[in-house]
């Protein structure tokens, strides 16, 4: 059902306690009932803009701009459509917004960040001098665009407070404040970079976030992995998942890539003669396109990989860089967060590298870790959540744990029928009963199924609302989806969605896994039962489904279990290679008719070719 959760009713300023650097915001009038409304806006680093809305500390809506404008990563854009959706879904007038939170802040000259950047970029003196003398130029450009958005929407009716939050504090808040952890919690943030910081170690206690140590650009584990992603023939922002998926096919010990990074247990230094380079140090191809690695890397390792096959020696390079990422990250966790983990065992993680599920499996395996929470929108899209949750907490709200990632638009059966009737392909459709049972029958008969229901997921993972499904016991179903539907590399793995009562046996653990952010070793008995969702190394990137979080999807997997004996579905996102996940019924129909899919269910509507 598509029920709006909140409706606005006479609200003004927040009557509760206000702390920190946002103190003094607003005044309350005695006897009035108020809600605190905070809108988070991301898009600070020129990709993955999004919006998120908190009301009284509860995350009620969030969406990525790419889904509305159909442009993957929406580079260079600001989240107008996603902000509009969040407000409309919650029934909030723009004038009622109390604060706008933005995940990019000015960095003072007294900070070591700008000096470190300048010293490490001595080979590009224009960049180095700019960092010292004009180091907040990107912040000012961002604020110009943000202030235009605020004015265009008339947010707050001219009285809204615009609050910048440091990029890595936003990542940290998106993980810590949404984790639900009450104990002292270790906080880890690793990505390419924000303003200058690339890596964050800290802890949360009693709702407050404390920094322990940050590392600064160009010393970036995300930047290192991203540069090698480009060398291995993929695009940054998309290809890191592919490198991670390629790594199990290779031998991490065949090549020693340690010269890419100097690491001494407590700090690291990326070799910018080879990777994470800028300016004249960049390798350029025959078309003049520049990359984040240097010609010296080509001289050392050979030509940049091209094509879709996984071949020698590149699979071994992928395995080697994955090994470096894991070893350096785990060593730094040990040094900076080890004491906190020994105390409580709780850790949360955000930043683009937090989507590296193999690293996350290694973190969970640490004897001092009891539970790891990874923000499901760990990339920069999630900083809209992080900035807004940070500001809402500063304004006195108690941030509620993240209950699910179903935070985007939803559509009624009537709207799905209307989309069918208006679509140029004139689809053959029927309204059906017992939808989960009908869907399970299609899957058990060996067919892939496009499955569209409920609210769209926030973050890069389809979690049963905008998915392509298959029965993981059907031989060749993964290859068929890769080749004929997703049009992507044939070696790419697929994820299992598993009933919560089945997961402990299949995954050999009861660690929470609602968001496909971890891989687990698959129990021996299950590898032959569901081979299409077991990767080359015997692991699976799993989603554990509960009846409470997604009742219709749960019912579908239960029906599939009756037919196949396995309470497991193969699940991948409803999109084609290079496209954003679908948002609307029309998007679903476009994708359906642009692929070899034969069955699409949208709410209670079955579409067939």
DSSP structure string for 368-392: T-SEEEE-TT-SGGGHHHHHHHHHH
Residue 143 neighbours by CB distance under 10 Å:
18
Q: Which of 14, 47, 121, 393 is catalytic?
A: 47
Q: In what order do the strands lie in the sheet with 50-55?
A: 58-64, 50-55, 37-42, 99-102, 161-164
Distance CA 566, CA 568 (A): 5
CA 338 distance to own-chain centroid = 26
What backbone phi and psi angles, to 5 degrees, belong to 299?
Answer: -60, -35
Number of alpha carbons in the 13 Å side-chain half-sphere of residue 30: 0
Residue 210 neighbours by CB distance under 10 Å:
11
**Under 8 Å between Cβ of 49 and 42:** yes
Residue 145 neighbours by CB distance under 10 Å:
16
Distance CA 213, CA 332 (A): 10
Q: From 162, 170, 163, 164, select the one nearest 209 (Cα to Cα).
A: 170
Write the burial class of residue 413 (CB in 10 Å: 0-12 exposed, 13-18 middle, 19+ buried): middle
Distance CA 592, CA 605 (A): 14
Q: How many residues does the chain have?
A: 609
Q: Is 47 tagged catalytic?
A: yes
Catalytic residues: 47
């Amino acid at each position: 059902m598509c029920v709006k959760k909140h409706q606005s009713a006479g609200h003004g300023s927040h009557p509760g306690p206000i702390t920190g650097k946002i103190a003094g915001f607003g005044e309350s009038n005695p006897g009035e009932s108020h809600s605190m409304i905070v809108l988070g806006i991301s898009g600070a680093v020129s990709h993955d803009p999004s919006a998120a809305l908190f009301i009284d500390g509860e995350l009620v809506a969030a969406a990525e701009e790419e889904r509305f404008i159909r442009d993957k990563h929406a580079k260079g854009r600001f989240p107008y459509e996603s902000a509009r959706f969040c407000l409309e879904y919650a029934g909030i007038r723009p004038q009622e917004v109390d604060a706008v939170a933005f995940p990019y802040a000015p960095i003072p000259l007294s900070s070591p960040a700008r000096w470190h950047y300048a010293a490490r970029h001595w080979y590009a003196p224009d960049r180095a001098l700019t960092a010292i003398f004009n180091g907040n130029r990107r912040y000012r450009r961002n604020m110009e665009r943000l202030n235009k958005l605020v004015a265009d929407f008339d947010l707050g009716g001219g009285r809204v407070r615009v609050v910048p939050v440091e990029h890595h504090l936003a990542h940290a808040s998106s993980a810590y404040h949404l984790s639900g952890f009450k104990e002292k919690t270790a906080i880890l943030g690793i990505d390419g970079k924000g303003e200058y910081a690339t890596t964050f170690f800290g802890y949360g206690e009693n709702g407050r976030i404390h920094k322990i140590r940050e590392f600064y650009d160009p010393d970036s584990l995300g930047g290192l992995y991203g540069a090698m992603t480009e060398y291995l023939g993929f695009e940054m922002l998309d290809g890191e998942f592919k490198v991670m998926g390629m790594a199990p096919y290779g031998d991490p010990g065949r090549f020693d890539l340690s010269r890419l990074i100097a690491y001494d247990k407590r700090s690291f230094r990326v070799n910018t003669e080879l990777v994470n380079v800028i300016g004249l140090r960049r390798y350029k191809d025959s078309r003049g396109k520049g990359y984040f690695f240097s010609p010296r890397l080509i001289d050392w390792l050979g030509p940049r990989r091209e094509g879709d096959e996984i071949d020698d020696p590149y699979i071994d390079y992928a395995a080697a860089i994955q090994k470096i990422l894991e070893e350096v990250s785990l060593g730094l966790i040990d040094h900076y967060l080890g004491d906190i983990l020994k105390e409580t065992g709780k850790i949360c993680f955000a930043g683009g590298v937090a989507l590296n599920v193999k690293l996350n499996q290694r973190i969970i395996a640490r004897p001092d870790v009891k539970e790891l929470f990874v923000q499901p929108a760990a990339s920069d899209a999630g900083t809209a959540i992080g900035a807004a949750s940070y500001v809402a907490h500063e304004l006195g709200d108690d941030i509620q744990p993240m209950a699910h990632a179903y935070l985007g638009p939803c559509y009624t059966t009537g709207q799905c029928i209307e989309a069918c009737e208006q679509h140029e392909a004139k689809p053959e459709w029927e309204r059906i009963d017992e939808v989960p049972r009908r869907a399970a029958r299609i899957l058990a008969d060996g067919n892939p199924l496009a499955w569209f229901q409920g609210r769209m997921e926030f973050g890069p993972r389809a979690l049963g609302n905008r998915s392509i499904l298959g029965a993981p016991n059907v031989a060749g179903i993964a290859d068929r989806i890769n080749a004929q539907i997703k049009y992507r590399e044939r070696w790419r793995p697929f994820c299992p969605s598993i009933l919560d009562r089945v997961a402990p046996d299949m995954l050999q653990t009861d660690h929470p896994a609602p968001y496909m952010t971890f891989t687990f070793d698959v129990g021996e008995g299950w590898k032959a039962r569901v081979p299409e969702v077991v990767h080359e190394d015997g692991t699976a990137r799993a989603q554990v489904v509960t009846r409470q979080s997604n009742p219709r999807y749960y019912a579908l997997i239960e029906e599939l279990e009756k037919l196949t004996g396995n309470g497991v579905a193969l699940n991948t996102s409803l999109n084609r290679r290079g496209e954003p996940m679908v948002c609307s019924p029309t998007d679903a129909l476009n994708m359906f008719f642009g692929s070899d899919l034969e069955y699409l269910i949208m709410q209670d509507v079955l579409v067939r070719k």
